[in-house]
Amino acid sequence: MSFMKSVVAGTAAAALSLGLAAAAQASDISGAGSSFIFPVFAKWGVAYKKATGKSLNYQSIGSGGGIKQVTAKTVTFGASDKPLSDEYLEKHGMVQFPMIQGGIVMMYNVKGIKPGQLVLDGKTVEEIYMGKITKWNAPEIQALNKGVKLPDQPIVVIHRSDGSGTTFNFTNYLSKISKNWADKIGSDTAVEWPVGLGAKGSEGVANMVKQTAGAIGYNEYAYVIQNKLGYSKMINKEGKVVSPSLKTFASAAANADWKNAHNFRVIITDQPGADSWPIAASTWVIIHKNPQDPKAAKEALKFFAWAYKNGKPEAKSLDYVAIPNNVVELIEASWSKIQHNGKPIYTPMMH
């Protein structure tokens, strides 16, 4: 069993047997939400435990679930691949800041087609998810893959069934490249899918694609690699064919203007640049400004500070893009808003 599979299995079992609240009480730091960030949180958690003796319990339940849990104060922090609105943050007394960036890729299970052998573009993906392109050897796919023998096989569309920030970024991309998608379906953590089968979590989507002949799905790159699934190259905004990699994710992430973004709200899909991956995404941590458990919140902030400073190797090993140091300075300065009795609970510059 691979590292990630064992962590996924262990975390799922813990969530089922203990429940979120009980699991949170059993650890020093509790969080829930985005499955996009889960692989790197898992690696960071292991390294942080070794370095400090403090344990992280992070439940991969999807961005929608994470927002609900942190709002209800069941966990110390939530994680979402869709940034919250100013109104929501203000209403619930929370702040958000980016933790990591990475890439969403199209994965497939087509016999005879190797990982990275297939090329897709936004229009073709949109028409597959609209139900207009239904066979792998359709002329639209064949035109992008001259010389590749594509099977006369039905395409089985797989999508997330839960509230998902990965879905938000995927549908945000489709809305940018297709007015038809924007008008009829739109972009959100959950949408009314025209076709397809739903699976819960990034883990569920990866497993369903792996088990379903002819399947296509969207997922964070680490899940695709860990499950040894086929993945497509993409044609980006500049019309260039790009492969998913740390380089192409970083090229897209380089366009993020965090300094001028209100509440660190930046979406990095469909970015310019010859090397830019078209479906890049960020994950935000969400935490209360006046936490009901200041000690737990302080431990969480210590973990985030450690991850920014020491977690780059783990992030790189999974092809995530680390938050730049100059942005980390802005983030850590924003933590002064997280207080107990009118005083900041943790100031990294002092430690």
pLDDT tens-digit map of 80-95: 999 999 999 999 999 9
Please give the backbone phi and psi of residue 101, each rounded to the nearest 5 degrees, phi first. -135, 155
Please check whether residues 128 and 230 belong to one and the same domain.
Answer: yes
Q: Give me the mean pLDDT over the 307-326 stretch.
A: 96
What pLDDT is stored for residue 26 in this prediction?
Answer: 56
Please check whether residues 108 and 233 belong to one and the same domain.
Answer: yes
Higher pLDDT, 342 or 13: 342
C-beta of residue 206 within 8 angstroms of C-beta of residue 219: yes
Among candidate residues 253, 271, 291, the one where a domain is terminated? 253
Task: Examine the pLDDT at 11 and tell me if it is beyond 90.
Answer: no
The total number of structural domains in the chain stands at 2
CATH code where residue 344 lies? 3.40.190.10
Let me know if residue 150 belongs to a domain: yes
- What does each C-alpha distance from 233 to 85, 227, 240 come to in angstroms? 33, 17, 10
Q: Give me the mean pLDDT over the 21-43 stretch.
A: 83
Please check whether residues 69 and 179 belong to one and the same domain.
Answer: no
Task: Examine the pLDDT at 98 and tell me if it is beyond 90.
Answer: yes
Q: Which domain holds residue 41?
A: 3-102+282-350
Task: Examine the pLDDT at 351 and tell me if it is beyond 60.
Answer: no
Average pLDDT, the chain: 92
Task: Examine the pLDDT at 13 and tell me if it is beyond 60.
Answer: no
Confidence (pTM): 0.91
The closest of 297, 279, 280, 306 to 338, measured between CA atoms, is 297
Please check whether residues 64 and 117 belong to one and the same domain.
Answer: no
Please give the backbone phi and psi of residue 183, each rounded to the nearest 5 degrees, phi first. -75, -40
What pLDDT is stored for residue 6 in this prediction?
Answer: 36
Please check whether residues 187 and 48 belong to one and the same domain.
Answer: no
Please check whether residues 175 and 290 belong to one and the same domain.
Answer: no
Please check whether residues 233 and 289 belong to one and the same domain.
Answer: no
Task: Examine the pLDDT at 178 and tell me if it is beyond 50.
Answer: yes
Let me know if residue 305 belongs to a domain: yes
What pLDDT is stored for residue 203 in this prediction?
Answer: 95
Task: Examine the pLDDT at 23 and tell me if it is beyond 90.
Answer: no
Please check whether residues 187 and 315 belong to one and the same domain.
Answer: no
Q: Give me the mean pLDDT over the 112-136 stretch.
A: 98
* Per-residue pLDDT reduced to its tens digit, 182-231: 999 999 999 999 999 999 999 999 999 999 999 999 999 999 999 999 99
C-beta of residue 69 within 8 angstroms of C-beta of residue 20: yes
What pLDDT is stored for residue 205 in this prediction?
Answer: 97
Q: Give me the mean pLDDT over the 137-147 stretch.
A: 97
What pLDDT is stored for residue 185 in this prediction?
Answer: 98
C-beta of residue 239 within 8 angstroms of C-beta of residue 122: no
The closest of 118, 105, 2, 10 to 60, measured between CA atoms, is 10
pLDDT band for 284, please (50, 70, 90 cuts).
Answer: very high
% pLDDT > 90, the chain: 91
Rounded-to-integer distance, Cα 119 and Cα 126, Å: 14
Let me know if residue 249 belongs to a domain: yes
% pLDDT > 70, the chain: 92
Rounded-to-integer distance, Cα 154 and Cα 219, Å: 21
Q: Give me the mean pLDDT over the 35-64 stretch.
A: 97
CB-CB neighbours of 178 under 10 Å: 19
Higher pLDDT, 25 or 233: 233
Q: Give me the mean pLDDT over the 16-44 stretch.
A: 75
Let me know if residue 274 belongs to a domain: no
Of 83-92, 135-144, 342-351, the least confident? 342-351
Task: Examine the pLDDT at 12 and tell me if it is beyond 90.
Answer: no
What pLDDT is stored for residue 18 in this prediction?
Answer: 36
What pLDDT is stored for residue 194 in this prediction?
Answer: 98
Task: Examine the pLDDT at 168 and tell me if it is beyond 80.
Answer: yes
Please give the structure tokens belonging to residue 342.
């009118």
Task: Examine the pLDDT at 344 and tell me if it is beyond 60.
Answer: yes
Task: Examine the pLDDT at 7 and tell me if it is beyond 70.
Answer: no
Please check whether residues 96 and 123 belong to one and the same domain.
Answer: no
